[in-house]
């Protein structure tokens, strides 16, 4: 049993996170000089919950994970699912086999929602993780992590967070599956990641002062420790997510090789800054309908919680994430070549109709026609997952009366990914348990 436990890195992660939370709570309490009995209560509660979670976890997960790990015979996904005869559009067939490499902090939750809806509409087979909403991130993807995986299994859509491992992913989808991903200007991505994950990266706790981000960027090497827990969140996160070494020397010839590899493996690399243009290119590539790419921004932060990165700070953030900057520069250029090939004029028209339709859906679905703070979201089923220690992610309230025709679509479009995955039948018990614990501890 002990040997099995060592294998599951996730458990370590849960434990570590819990420990960092407990520690965070204690330091917070100390700094606010809360009465000792309050601290003691928090600590006892924290310890009890940690113990309970670990116990539950080790019993429920370890054996099945080991059983699945044995199943590593290669699979052939040669017979794609047959399309219903009535789905046609012009001269092309909508493509149903998609791998979305979901990067962090890049509007990827919005795209996830689009994929969930499309998959549901066409009754596609998703490869989902089990227990959590990611594939054991930050460990590399393994096919055995897919829920109920049997050797030879083939899936239509893979789209949850993972650390990319091409050959493993490749083996689970049809040979002509479309690979897509999304990138973002690394300076802004860094700011977002720092805000969202900063608290679970212990070396940031040393940072003092009001603007920790600026402090860090003044001399990153003074604070950064590549072996620190969760360190990858704050250094070339795109490179890391895509499965490469995020600590490579930017002058290494491997950098260009990796970038080229991404180019060869992915049919479309979208950009968060040009999300609508990206979706139009996606729609074209996959032969989808406009309806398929409609969206409301999900998992977005309140504007006041975004620290604008300008001038010197922007330059420093770009410098610090040099590998991602090189990656982004490459795909920014290829993106605009694709737009050029698509036709600038045509692109402008398609973007305009996408925005018009999104606006129309907003008027149909959303109460007040805009996103609201977490505390103003009425239904728990529409509460988004929040970063540790701050409730800055916005969500939506649906209108009270929505015509029957749009009822389902509206609800799906505003459903955060955790709840949507539950609806799609994924067992997320660890994620949910963690959610309740956080609610209890109010973190």
Give yes or no for a contact between 207 and 194, defined as CB atoms under 8 angstroms apart. no
Q: How many CB atoms lie within 10 A of CB 41?
A: 12
Tell whether residue 176 is a contact of ligand NAG (CB under 6 A). Answer: yes
CA angle 422, 424, 425 (to 5 degrees): 65
Distance CA 340, CA 338 (A): 5
As measured in angstroms, the least distance from the Cβ of 85 to ligand NAG is 8
Find the shortest distance in angstroms from Cβ 247 to ligand NAG: 23
Of the two residues 136 and 156, which places its CB atom closer to ligand NAG in the complex?
156
Distance CA 208, CA 202 (A): 13
If binding is defined by CB under 6 A, does position 381 make contact with ligand NAG?
A: no
For residue 87, the minimal CB distance to ligand NAG (Å) is 5
Among residues 26, 34, 54, 80, which is the contact residue for ligand NAG, using CB under 6 A? 80
Among the listed ranges 68-76, 80-88, 402-410, 420-428, the one in contact with ligand NAG (CB under 6 A) is 80-88
Nearer to ligand NAG, 145 or 173 (CB): 173
Q: Greatest CA span in the chain, whole angstroms?
A: 71
Please pick, from the candidates 185, 292, 362, 417, the single residue that binds ligand NAG as defined by CB under 6 A: 185
Looking at the Cβ atoms of 326 and 382, the one nearer to ligand NAG is 326
Q: How many other CB atoms sit within 10 Å of the CB of residue 114?
A: 21
Tokens of 362: 């907003």
Residue 334 within binding range of ligand NAG, rule CB under 6 A: no
Interacting residue with ligand NAG among 336, 406, 429, 435 (CB under 6 A): 336
88 contributes a contact to ligand NAG by CB under 6 A: no
Binder of ligand NAG out of 10, 95, 105, 161 (CB under 6 A): 95
Q: Which stretch binds ligand NAG (CB under 6 A): 18-26, 307-315, 328-336, 435-443?
A: 328-336
Contact 231, 252 (CB under 8 A): no
Minimal distance in Å, beta carbon 174 to ligand NAG? 6
Q: Which is nearer to ligand NAG, 67 or 92 (CB)?
A: 92
Tell which positions 213-252 bind ligand NAG, by CB under 6 A: none
Tell me: does residue 87 bind ligand NAG (CB under 6 A): yes
The rounded radius of gyration (Å) of the Cα atoms in the chain is 22
CB-wise, 161 or 330, nearer to ligand NAG?
Answer: 330
In angstroms, how far is the first alpha carbon of the chain from the final one? 32
Judged by CB under 6 A, the stretch of 84-92, 153-161, 162-170, 292-300 that binds ligand NAG is 84-92
Q: How far is the CB of 401 from ligand NAG (least distance, A)?
A: 26
Stretch that binds ligand NAG, among 32-40, 83-91, 124-132, 366-374 (CB under 6 A): 83-91
Is residue 332 near ligand NAG by the rule CB under 6 A? yes
Q: Does 267 bind ligand NAG (CB under 6 A)?
A: no
The nearer residue to ligand NAG, 98 or 200, going by C-beta atoms, is 98
Contacts to ligand NAG by CB under 6 A: 80, 84, 86-87, 93, 95, 174, 176, 185, 329, 332, 336
């Amino acid at each position: 049993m002990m040997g099995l436990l060592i294998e599951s890195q996730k458990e370590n992660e849960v434990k570590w996170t819990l420990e960092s939370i407990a520690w965070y709570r204690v330091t917070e309490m100390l700094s606010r000089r809360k009465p000792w009995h309050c601290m003691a209560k928090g600590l006892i509660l924290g310890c009890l919950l940690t113990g309970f979670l670990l116990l539950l976890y080790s019993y429920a997960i370890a054996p099945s994970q080991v059983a699945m790990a044995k199943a590593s015979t290669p699979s052939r996904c040669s017979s794609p699912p047959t399309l219903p005869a009535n789905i046609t559009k012009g001269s092309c067939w909508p493509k149903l086999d998609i791998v979305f490499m979901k990067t962090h902090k890049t509007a990827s939750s919005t795209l996830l929602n689009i994929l969930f809806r499309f998959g549901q509409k066409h009754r596609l087979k998703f490869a989902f993780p089990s227990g959590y909403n990611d594939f054991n991130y930050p460990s590399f993807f393994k096919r055995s992590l897919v829920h109920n995986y049997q050797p030879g299994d083939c899936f239509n859509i893979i789209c949850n967070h993972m650390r990319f491992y091409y050959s493993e992913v490749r083996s689970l989808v049809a040979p002509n599956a479309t690979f897509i991903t999304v990138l973002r200007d690394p300076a802004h991505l860094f700011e977002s990641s720092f805000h969202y994950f900063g608290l679970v990266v212990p070396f940031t706790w040393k940072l003092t002062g009001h603007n920790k981000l600026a402090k860090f960027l003044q001399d990153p090497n003074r604070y950064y420790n590549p072996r620190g827990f969760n360190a990858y969140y704050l250094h070339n996160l795109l490179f890391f997510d895509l499965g490469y070494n995020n600590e490579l020397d930017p002058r290494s010839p491997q950098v260009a090789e990796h970038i080229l590899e991404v180019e060869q493996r992915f049919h479309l690399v979208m950009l968060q800054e040009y999300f609508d243009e990206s979706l139009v290119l996606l729609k074209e590539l996959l032969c989808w309908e406009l309806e398929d790419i409609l969206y409301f921004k999900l998992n977005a932060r309140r504007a006041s919680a975004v620290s604008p990165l300008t001038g010197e700070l922007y330059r420093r953030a770009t410098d610090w994430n040099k590998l991602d900057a090189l990656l982004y520069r490459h795909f920014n250029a290829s993106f605009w070549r694709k737009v050029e090939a698509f036709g600038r004029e045509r692109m402008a028209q398609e973007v305009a109709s996408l925005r018009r339709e999104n606006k129309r859906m907003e008027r149909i679905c959303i109460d007040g026609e805009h996103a609201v703070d977490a505390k103003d979201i009425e239904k728990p089923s529409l509460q988004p997952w929040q970063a540790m220690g701050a409730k800055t992610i916005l969500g939506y309230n649906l209108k009270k009366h929505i015509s029957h025709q749009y009822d389902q679509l509206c609800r799906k479009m505003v459903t955060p990914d955790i709840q949507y995955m539950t609806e799609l039948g994924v067992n997320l018990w660890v994620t949910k348990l963690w959610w309740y614990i956080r609610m209890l501890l109010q973190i």
